[in-house]
Structure 1
Amino acid sequence: MKVLYLTERRKQIGKQEAERLLELKVKRGGNETLKNIQETVSSLLGVNIDAFESSSIASTRQKSAEMDVDNFLVEVNGSGIKEALRLVLDVEFGNPDILLVEEPEIHLHPALETSMMRYLKRISCNSQVFITTHSTNFLDTAEMNNVYLVTKPDSTEIQQLGIGEAEARIPQELGIRLSSLFMFDRLVFVEGLSDEDAIREWASTLGINLSQANVGFIHMGGVRNFAYFATESTLRFLAKRQVKMWFLIDRDEKEDSEIIKMQNMLGQNAKLQVLSKREIENYLIYYGAIIRFVKHKRVLSGNLSNELPTATEILAKIDECAEKMKQLAIDKRVIKLACKPIYPELKVIFEDIQESTVDKVTQSIQKMIDQLESDKKNLENIYNSKSSELESFWKDRKLDIVPGDLLLDEVCKAYNVRCDRVIAFRRHQNLH
């Protein structure tokens, strides 16, 4: 079992790593490995690396290798780039079974810390990774059930933290200040972690480096918390500091009037981007990706006996499963409209001081009952209206309307694999 231990004080990157990169250029099959390393570094750090043979040394007639980072010698780059390269190249060259890293945040910009954590999570599919850190940026992208707090009041104590405990203990231990909230130039508010995972993965595929652009993500915990994060005072406070903000939300079953109301809440301080499809998983409904995913899951399980489905079979299965969800799509629209919450008119209750409290509350409750009775009588009309509305564009837009995560899972189940949103976006189960 190969163990790679990167201590807090790490050896400077330089000639030795350059020689290994240069060796890949002339080794059979090495170019593919070199290309993968270069792409990994480019997506993480936003720089291009390469290695060349240096000029001959006149006295010894020997040659040595040099590493370039964006056409500059690696030695003249900043400490952050060199530290990040040190970690990435050690892992890529060593392919360890167990990786131990002390203080991976040393010399790294906060945005680069996030990229490095995502890299460690990705390689944890094949390696068991342990890190020690004082940086909350590494905690932001970690599963909280894999986080342990190590303290030494009298003797060393190790405590596994839950979410509630983490919120109280970690800021106290690290001395978090308000400045930590304003380390990014751009903030993207998303509904959950899987949304951030998908966006970062797509950005990496497109060659867009979000860390280099100093982009941070904030998870709202669902669109129901939109109003909490979109308070005017918070947005104005961040806007004054020239932090650009976007709110990215699923379309779900939202009416146009709801979206206009949300945009009005943001005003000029932030932009609202509503997905054209129901949710971000709907963009993953593509036969080629599903075939590769089925193959990936079968490889992991050791089940390679069955042939992979063809594109025609996947397309037919997608359509079949979508048709089965037609009623669910109708029901979601009807329930959203017919089961809206109804609240008492508290303002009226407190304003009228002439009438008794019992009478005012009784009247308010009766109004709510009357509203519910009216909605109950109108329920059949609501159902018919929504059913007819969905029927008018079902044929062309069904894959944009049904719940994408459920559809993907149903299609994959036909081939004896599962694809819920945790499996699809968070494949990193053994990072601690």
Structure 2
Amino acid sequence: MGLEAAHSRRRILHAHGDSSGAEVVRALAAAVRTAAHVTVLEGVIARDILTRDGVVTGVALHDIVNGETSHGVLATARVVLATGGLGGLFARTTNPLSSIGAGVALAARAGAAVADMEFVQFHPTALDPGQLAGRFVGPAPLVSEAVRGEGALLVNDLGVRFMTGAPGAELAPRDVVARAIWRQQQAGRRVFLDARASPGAGFAYRFPAITALCATAGLDPARDLLPVTPAAHYHMGGVAVDLRGRASLPGLWACGEVACTGLHGANRLASNSLVEALVCAGFVASDLKGTCAGAAGGSAVLRSAAAGLSPPGLANVTGLANADLAPIRALMSRCVGLERSADGLRQALARLAPLAANPTHPAADAALVGLLIAHAALARQESRGAHFRTDFPTPAPAAPRRAPVLLADVLADSAAPAATPYVTKIAS
């Protein structure tokens, strides 16, 4: 079993050496494609959760075909969000660049509460694309924490270890290691992971997928130093749910990274996300089974826009895929990244609020989710877990452990117009 940061003992089971997540997805996809009762709609974007009298009634859809868009409504009283995270809001991320918190935006616009939005975890050791001469385009490849669990060390370009003073050294909690690397970089130093002595020659056997990634960059972990950098990796916050996965909006459930169950606190332990996703998805399925058994109305029905159910004010979906998110990513990394302050967070709010308030802007969803993160980070006047404030560098015992909020309140606090576009309803 593997040892990872802030773990007191070896407790991590891996599939195929270092491919547990990929194996979970492979097995799930295979099960879905062979299930006769599951309909898969590929190339379809959910644009709004529709409500009537504060209850879910359906989902507005856009089907993107050959660069064109058509829309319709999936009429249903039960919606489950399992849309993943939001690392794509930052300049460097291990997530797909399309992971911008779309599920959080859907839920928040529909009136569901979100919670713990300020807690964004940065993985300390992604391969640094800035030192790899453009060999990677897209997400920064992850060098698992388990590599440090097997003895790899962090050094700067002077060959100096800089984690020796931290409890746990290289296996200190992720936020501690990530900030230490970031501060080295701010001082002009480059940072490397040294796995040459340990795991050394055994690296390829223990970590075959990472070995293949490194080979793409022309690196051999048993021989070469690996250039690394912190990258946005996991979001502890999201749609506020209970232990059944129910959101505050009746008819809405969420599981996986899009949900905020509270199980990870302010700083997720490595590998716990897969366990949470599997276990909590089971809770959601059990709750849905009971709900569906006693519900009227039958299965969801897909209707075209011609049925008159297309809601007004939808985002500009044609431009969505082509939205230039680089300015938002740069802003989030600079002002809402590893180290935050009131001045930087207020800058972010001022820049994001106008974009978030314009639902026809292609970057509205990204701006909206960034706004929720910045607002929560400004409100939490302490440092805790993955949330670090340079102006409040220590924990505050009296600070709330969980703070659910509604989008309307955030927009009001941010001096942005909170009216209509954010709660899309089918008129009674």
TM-score range, shorter chain: under 0.3
From the two aligned structures, give the one with the greater strand fraction: 2
- With structure 2 as the length reference, what TM-score do the two structures score? 0.18
From the two aligned structures, give the one with the greater helix fraction: 1
Higher relative contact order (CA 8 A, sep 6+): 2
Structure showing greater Rg: 1
- With structure 1 as the length reference, what TM-score do the two structures score? 0.18
